[in-house]
Amino acid sequence: MASEAPGLTLDQDGKSPRIRLTGQWVLRHLSGSINKLRRQLARCKSDPQTIWDLESIDGLDSTGALLLWRHWGRRRPAQLRLRTEYEPLFQRLEQMPAPAPALKRKPLEWVARLGAAMLSAATHLRELVALLGQLTLDILSFPARPDRIPWREISANIYKSGGRALLITGLVGLLIGIVMSYLSALQLRLLGGERFIVNLMGLSVTRELGPLLAAILIAGRSGSSITAELGVMRLTQELDALATMGISPFKRVLLPKVLALAITMPLLAFWTMAAAIFGGMLVAQSELNITFGQFLSDLPGAIPIVTYWIALAKSIAFGVVIGLVSCHFGLRIKPNTESLGYETTNAVVTAITLVILTDAIFAVGLRDIGWQE
Amino acid sequence: MSPPSPTVIEMRGIVTRFGAQVVHDGIDLSVQRGEVLGLVGGSGSGKTTLLREMIGLQNPSAGEVHAFGEAVFAARRTHQTKALRQRWGVLFQHGALFTALSVTDNIALPLRELRALDEPLIQELVRLKLAMVGLKPEDGRRHPAELSGGMIKRVGLARALALDAELLLLDEPTSGLDPVASEQFVDLIAELRSTLGLTVALVTHDLDTLVDLCDRIAVLADRKLIVIGTLDEVIACDHPFIQSYFRGHRGGRLLSKRQ
Ligand SMILES: Nc1ncnc2c1ncn2[C@@H]1O[C@H](COP(=O)(O)OP(=O)(O)OP(=O)(O)O)[C@@H](O)[C@H]1O
Ligand SMILES: [Mg+2]
């Protein structure tokens, strides 16, 4: 098969001009020279006498045909020499339906969009509350049917969101502990209050840093994975399949995730605290000559017991917030890949923001509790 | 077709293993220019896998694949890949449409990727392809999630046709289509074949498509290519799989109608 470049020659000799097309008028050969051919075509004034001779063409596909068709003003020229096998191409072009009418842009669209954004914030809130309510109802139904508690799912999720996060939370806790105590050590040495490192580290880590650090890490780690997992289940209609089997996706899929987070969050928070305090101990020993033994014997006195309760309550709240938010965004995912990425980002950003907001609420609400005189 | 037609796809000694499971055990297959080759076989006999190996999506455990005279899997890493890939269009078994793009953008994507055509021309080409597969211009605005199963197949076909490639690889093009649409599909492929000199390799379970469209039929069973040839040659083979596939209740009825 010849693979000639497409071309055309204008022949003025005879009574009427004749345009002869040669070569491969197919996309693969056209794409390099399409503009040149367009210019050549434009030079051929198409009057009714012109003979379009396509008989010596080596190949023609829809792109080539369309190019000519557009040049001809969307109709057959009066004098067209065409091989029969190319007939269907032009028949299709003749029968081609008109383009779908463009969608009208509504006036004042930005007003509508602003309103929709406000409403969507309200919708998010309503749906989150509804989700919380649904999950609460599900939990309340458990005592009546203990055999229906999804133990396996809960334990699998505890492993996924807790067990596998131990390394990262521990590492980050340790590093933050080292950085914090190093900074404080410098200041405390100036003031001569070296032993206060224990109080400073102990209190700030247990009351604020430990739970918050762990929650932010888990919001990024488990939050995104929960949202993406639910999103893919939506994409692949797994949620629909569950529903048709009479298995509530809330009970079987969402609830175990939220419960698992509520259980693992406090555990991870205490683990992070321990790592951060260990980091503090390392610095205290190397910078301030406070031995591990001294540090550990001062520690219980420095942290009032209520601080642990606050940390526990906070962490559970963080876990529930992360679980709810990521499930909520997971359920909103539409069956396309773009929405998957969009809602996953939303879930993580919202979860972290809400975690910090919750932390602030705790801080303000409990501002008079747990401080030693 | 003229007797010494060059080979478009040449597979030699293909062995495919997934872990301990052997799917293909020494398959030799060639697709000749201008023919329609039907690939049949039971579910899980490795038809889709063979198709994926033809276009270099999957590397066989052993054996060679050449497309248009070039080694496919080696070409993956060279600049030749692109030129090679513009010479075939592929319809995946499950559509594999880009869910984030509208139908129009799905079909326009390979055309835009050429960076040679202007947007009005692309839009019109898309409209033409949509009409070819029996979809309305309005359908172009929809997203894959809003399509029915048969529509997904049609859009996938339109996308495979977008570049007017010389070689079409179709994985179950008519499954999920109603009988009328299947017939239109058969007519469309027959027409494209005469205008573009198209070569087609298709997987199908649809005996009608097989009988109406395919020049040669390749049958996969027992990890081997048990026979390849015209319908009559295939039926003449007395392998038990072929006996039950073509001479079973439905196959027999169809073939008797044909005679
Ligand atoms: N990525 C993979 N990993 C492991 N096994 C696979 C993989 N892809 C395919 N298989 C196995 O290879 C075999 C052939 O699969 P293939 O999809 O090619 O079948 P098929 O002939 O197209 O079947 P169907 O008609 O049902 O589409 C099957 O047994 C399948 O389980
Ligand atoms: Mg398959």
Can you say whether the dihedral through the CA atoms of B222, B225, B230, B233 is positive or negative? Answer: negative
DSSP string, A5-44: PPEEEEE-SSSS-EEEEEEEESHHHHHHHHHHHHHHHHHS
- Do B164 and A26 make contact, defined as CB atoms within 8 angstroms? yes
- Does A192 reach chain B within 8 Å, measured CB to CB? no
Q: How far does residue A141's CA lie from ligand 1's centre (Å)?
A: 43
For residue A107, give how far its alpha carbon lies from the nearest alpha carbon of chain B (Å): 21
Q: Which residues of chain B register pLDDT less than 50? A: 1-4
Q: Do B136 and A336 touch (CB under 8 A)?
A: no
Q: What is the pLDDT of residue B79?
A: 58
Closest-CA residue of A relative to B193 is A85
Verify whether the Cβ–Cβ distance A63 to B143 is below 8 Å. no
Residue B82, pLDDT score: 67
Beta carbons of A43 and A71 less than 8 angstroms apart: no
**Cβ contact, residue pair A28, B138, below 8 Å:** no
A149 touches chain B (CB under 8 A): no
pLDDT values of chain A reduced to their tens digit, one per residue, 373 residues: 445 788 888 877 767 778 888 888 888 888 888 888 888 888 776 677 788 888 888 888 888 888 888 888 888 888 888 888 888 888 888 888 878 787 777 778 888 889 888 888 899 999 999 999 999 998 888 888 888 888 899 999 999 999 999 999 999 999 999 999 999 998 888 888 888 889 889 889 998 999 999 999 999 999 999 999 999 998 888 888 888 887 888 888 999 999 999 999 999 999 999 999 999 999 999 988 899 999 999 998 888 889 999 999 999 999 999 999 999 999 999 888 888 999 999 999 999 999 999 999 999 998 888 776 5
3-state secondary structure of B17: strand
Q: Which of B124, B127, B142, B189 to mutate to test the interface with A (most CBs of A within 10 A)?
A: B124
Domain borders along chain A are: 7-95, 125-365
H or E segment and range at residue B183: helix B179-196
Radius of gyration, alpha carbons of chain B: 18
pLDDT of residue B80: 59
- The CATH architecture of the domain made up of A7-95 is 2-Layer Sandwich (3.30)
**Residue B101 per-residue DSSP state:** S
* Distance of alpha carbon A47 from alpha carbon A49, whole angstroms: 5
What confidence score (pLDDT) does residue B95 get?
86
Q: Look-up: residue for tokens 């969050």?
A: A265
A297 touches chain B (CB under 8 A): no
Provide the token pair at A296: 């550990």
Q: Which ligand is nearest to the CA of B52?
A: 1
Single-letter code of the amino acid located at A356: I
Q: Is A100 on the interface with B (CB under 8 A)?
A: yes
CA distance B104 to B100: 12
DSSP letter assigned to residue B116: -
Query: Which ranges of A19-165 does DSSP label H, i.e. alpha helix?
Result: 27-43, 62-71, 87-94, 109-141, 151-161
**A158: helix, strand or coil:** helix
CA-proximal residue: ligand 1, atom 17 (nearest): B48
Cβ of A63 and B127 within 8 Å?
Answer: no
Residue B46 Cα: closest atom of ligand 1: 18
Taking the CA of residue A347 and the nearest CA in chain B, the distance in Å comes to 19
Say what the ipTM of the complex is.
0.81
Q: Are A47 and A18 spatial neighbours (Cβ–Cβ below 8 Å)?
A: no
Residue B68: predicted pLDDT: 84
User: B172 C-alpha vs ligand 1 centroid, how far in Å?
Assistant: 14
Alpha carbon separation from A278 to A124, A169, A208, A289, B153 (Å, rounded)? 41, 13, 16, 15, 60
| DSSP secondary structure, B41-74, as one string | ESTTSSHHHHHHHHTTSS--SEEEEEETTEEHHH
Structure confidence at residue B219 (pLDDT): 92
Contact A98 B164 (CB under 8 A): no
- Whether A336 and chain B come into contact, CB under 8 Å, resolves to yes
**Cα–Cα distance between B50 and B228 in angstroms, integer?**
15
> A337-365 and A224-235 helices cross at what angle (nearest 10)?
140
Q: A93 touching B, CB under 8 A? A: yes
